Structure 1
Amino acid sequence: MTTYAHDPIASTIVATWPTGDGAVAHRVARVPKGLAAELARRTAGTLTQLSTLLWRGYSEQEVDEIAPFRLVEAVRYPNQPCGDLIVMVEDDRAETAHLLGRIVDRAPGKAFRDAIVAEVRAELDAVMAADDGDLTGRARQAVVHVRPDPDETHLVAAHAALHDDPLGPQELLTSIEPHSAAVAALCWLRASAGHVATVVGHSVADVVALAEAIGHEDLRIVRQVLDPAHGMSDVEVVRDVLQEAVLANRGYFVLCPEKHEPFDPGPGPDGAPQHQHRAVATLLEPSEPGSCLVQGLIRGLHGCFRVYIDAVTTQERPGADPRLSGPERAATLRARYFSEIREVVRTGS
């Protein structure tokens, strides 16, 4: 979402939004001299609230329920109090737009209101563009919003990016919807881990453990998504992991019954049977689940490559230190690895 703030020194309303590799800022409007600082802050806060609701609609694939013209008109011509009464609307987005309009209406002149109206229109255009799959310009902030299902167009783009760079290109974080990027990255990670397991003569779990030892890092996301016990497809694995994080971010605790719990707690106080439950903890940062998952998968891709380099160097040059192989040897191994992984993904073997 876009976050707004009042800069009292410059007497402006400013906005920032994420792009996957940092944030972009721009000046929204100059605050009129006659407008109190409190109202300027309330303007910024209400703009942030409206942006939150708009991008939540994008995340939940409810953009078709957003009425851009009505929201813009609500800001320009808001419902005003009649005595102690005021007309309220049920739609949260529309009511927030009316509230914003009432705050802005207290500013002297028209320039401030016109600038805020233009800002709301620009944010609406960004949400609509993102919903159409165009993640450029202001709509690029969609890369931090998780949708329930991957997008076919973005899946194709993610696989193409990974084909160009099987170690996980930056485009996965900055140009592609995160659910789609994660599904594609998991596919290439599974192929990479399986291929490297064949090269080293160990299991996939051993490859992950070796990658952790070589890189001195905790690849818990990789361990979880590659766990064969869940028996789910890549799409199902990604959906479950992301859903846990999204629910956690919204304040929900997920409790799952223990299906294989041998202990019987017996009946409860009311005589009804009791059930053992366990809390499900999310692997991801709840405030940024999409980028957290994609970054975790990319670390896994790099980890597999490190294990491959060590294994091949040991097999072909016993006693040599993989870290001292030289740039030419490293480039050759990298190209060789890329070719092998592309073939594994292509053939599904």
Structure 2
Amino acid sequence: MQPRTRYSVDLHRRELIASWGTGEGDLATRIAALPDGAGTSTLLGLARTLSQLSDAAWRTYTRPASAAPSLEPNSEGRRREEERKAFAEVAGAITGPNLPSGGAMVVSYSHLTESANRIGRALHDLDDSDLTKAVLTESATELAAVESAELGDLTGRAQQAVLLSREDASPVQVAAADHLLQQNPFGPAELFLAVDPTATAVAAAHCLAAAAEVAAEVSGEHPTQVVLEADNIEALPHKTPTLVLGLIADGATPHQAVTGLVRHAMHITDGVLPDPTALREQLHDLEETLGDYTDEDEPDLEDIELRLTPLDPKRPARDLLEDLLAGIHGCWLLHSEHASLDTDEDLGRAEDWDDEQAEEHQRRSRDRFAQRVRETAAQHHDRLI
């Protein structure tokens, strides 16, 4: 379930509450006092429709029209474009909702507009002018948070974007993540607290490609295989970093590699199989592999599980980011395994090191590796933008 602002009712204090996630935990605020005479079901209905509005608004952020293959009439891209334009209709729908008339009622095709109409109908039943004003202010605050996130500003209410997977990556956010990775290629905590995870994964993929090149120079391995080789030193989630390195080696940009994987996983989350042909080929390859192992022309696939995406479909962008940073760590492991220790001669023989000397060697090794990654990433900076 995608995070968004959640609205709830405090029955003891008779208050409407909003809460939302950040990279460090959840925040909450009081929206308004609730009328004393209103029933619990009516109040919960208002809270539920506000949550639906937040869902619809943030969906325009996570699935922007820019990420759709076409903006032609009746296309998915055009539908997304129209849904984003519906922000301008929210206030009017809340104050003047479609109401039942003659046993029928007009229902909007737009999820956002219809959510606003439902809020308006709930407020119409409650008939409290102060509550209506507070809800109008709150809906404007929520929509403004989405607009801020679109511009790459993840402060205030827009902080919840750090928990969302997005089909596209803001250049502003990619630049912010790249700056943090230049300071610490292993990935500082700020990456998870202040930057959109899809954009951060783009910058991390660029950094991983540089780290793989550095590790390949000293190990003799191909850059696309260094994380897989590092898995022999320490258990690593090597499949996804290796896949990303392969895509970049084949000519994809970090942006293309990352957004393609995240978009595919988000479609799976929506219950959509975006590439049936690729799945058919995957099944064919699996059947051939099983046939080679079992010597059967038609091996039994009943007990075989096949992943539709290498990412966690509940949190694809953050899952990808975590794996890419693990891949950078793996590149350092391989680099440390093969790099010369000449610069650490002052520490004496490795077999004689105490814990403090071993920690000092590790610190120096990470610092040397980080500097080489910075230099290599800077040489290929055009790949990032």
Q: What residue is the counterpart of 2:318 in the other structure? A: 291
1:86-101 equivalences under 5 Å are 86-101=105-120
Q: What residue is the counterpart of 2:104 in the other structure? A: 85
Unaligned segments of structure 2, at least 5 residues: 65-79, 289-304
1:156 aligns with 2:175: yes
TM-score, scaled relative to structure 1: 0.84
Q: Does the aligned pair in 1 maintain the 2:215–2:335 contact within 8 Å?
A: yes
For 2:352 and 2:269, the matched residues in 1 are separated by 48
For 1:99 and 1:242, the matched residues in 2 are separated by 32
Q: What residue is the counterpart of 1:73 in the other structure? A: 92
- Identity within the alignment, %: 29
SS of 1:105 mapped into structure 2? helix
For 1:91 and 1:168, the matched residues in 2 are separated by 40
For 1:283 and 1:107, the matched residues in 2 are separated by 48
For 2:241 and 2:32, the matched residues in 1 are separated by 45
1:38-53 equivalences under 5 Å are 38-53=41-56
Q: What residue is the counterpart of 2:308 in the other structure? A: 281
For 2:249 and 2:259, the matched residues in 1 are separated by 13
Q: What is the deviation of 1:53?
A: 0.8
TM-score, scaled relative to structure 2: 0.77
For 2:248 and 2:32, the matched residues in 1 are separated by 55
| Count of residue correspondences | 336
Taking a change above 3 Å as real, the CA distance of residues 57 and 331 of structure 1, as seen in their structure-2 partners, is same
For 1:323 and 1:210, the matched residues in 2 are separated by 27
**What CA deviation, in whole Å up to 9, does each residue of 1:54-94 have, x standing for no partner?**
11112232577334442112112222222423233332211
Q: What residue is the counterpart of 1:270 in the other structure? A: none
For 1:51 and 1:251, the matched residues in 2 are separated by 21
Q: What is the deviation of 1:47?
A: 1.1
Q: What residue is the counterpart of 1:249 in the other structure? A: 269
For 1:32 and 1:73, the matched residues in 2 are separated by 23
Q: Whose helix proportion is higher, 1 or 2?
A: 2
For 2:247 and 2:267, the matched residues in 1 are separated by 24
For 2:308 and 2:352, the matched residues in 1 are separated by 43
Q: Does the aligned pair in 2 maintain the 1:34–1:107 contact within 8 Å?
A: no
Letter in 2 for 1:242: V
Letter in 2 for 1:30: A
**CA RMSD between the two structures:** 3.1
1:205-220 equivalences under 5 Å are 207-220=226-239
1:6-21 equivalences under 5 Å are 6-21=9-24
SS of 2:98 mapped into structure 1? coil
Q: What is the deviation of 1:52?
A: 0.9
**112-121 vs 7-16, which deviates more?**
7-16
Letter in 2 for 1:246: M
Q: What residue is the counterpart of 1:258 in the other structure? A: 281
Of 145, 150, 162, 1:126 maps to 145
Q: What residue is the counterpart of 2:364 in the other structure? A: 332
Taking a change above 3 Å as real, the CA distance of residues 224 and 299 of structure 1, as seen in their structure-2 partners, is same
Unaligned segments of structure 1, at least 5 residues: 265-277
**254-263 vs 190-199, which deviates more?**
254-263
Letter in 1 for 2:314: S
Of 164, 169, 182, 2:188 maps to 169
SS of 2:272 mapped into structure 1? coil
Letter in 1 for 2:197: P
For 2:283 and 2:269, the matched residues in 1 are separated by 29
For 1:88 and 1:199, the matched residues in 2 are separated by 64
Q: What residue is the counterpart of 1:344 in the other structure? A: 376
Q: Runs of at least 4 residues of structure 1 off by over 4 A?
A: 259-264, 313-318, 320-324
Letter in 2 for 1:7: D
Q: What is the deviation of 1:159?
A: 1.6
